[in-house]
Amino acid sequence: MELKRNGGNGRRSLSVVHGNTLYTSGITTTDLDADITGQTEDILRVVDNILTRNGTDRSRVLTATVTLADMADYGAFNAVWDAWIVDGCEPARSVTGGALAVPEYKIKIAIVAAL
């Protein structure tokens, strides 16, 4: 079965395709000044780009693992998420709170999608 790694940096790959499944690393923002809404929108743009480059789209997301630096941001995150996700194609999703690697990060999202 084919295995393809994309965007490797010596520590991790941005995404990996195995067979007909796409896995992403935990995606974070490059806009450290943005609030939770801006960071979530930025991350989901990156996710859309990864999906498109691999011949799939958000309707084929199977799972999403979300880490919020502050669970008080849950409602604002959900507002962006709910606008992004395709009705009827909601993935299995887990949202937890926890410290992120950079203090300015408010959110990290990893997804698994069908190709």
Query: What is the tens place of the pLDDT at every residue in 38-63?
Result: 999 999 999 999 999 999 999 999 99
Query: What is the tens place of the pLDDT at every residue in 73-110?
Result: 999 999 999 999 999 999 999 999 999 999 999 999 99
Three-state secondary structure call for residue 52: helix
Look at residue 37 in the predicted model and tell me its pLDDT. 98
Look at residue 1 in the predicted model and tell me its pLDDT. 86
Helix (H) or strand (E) holding 75: helix 74-84
Amino acid at 11: R
pTM summary value? 0.97
Please answer whether residues 29 and 68 qualify as being in contact, where contact means their C-beta atoms are separated by less than 8 angstroms: no
Instruction: Report CA dihedral (83, 95, 73, 84) to the nearest 10 degrees.
Output: -10
First to last CA, the chain: 14
Q: State both tokens at 52.
A: 């498109």
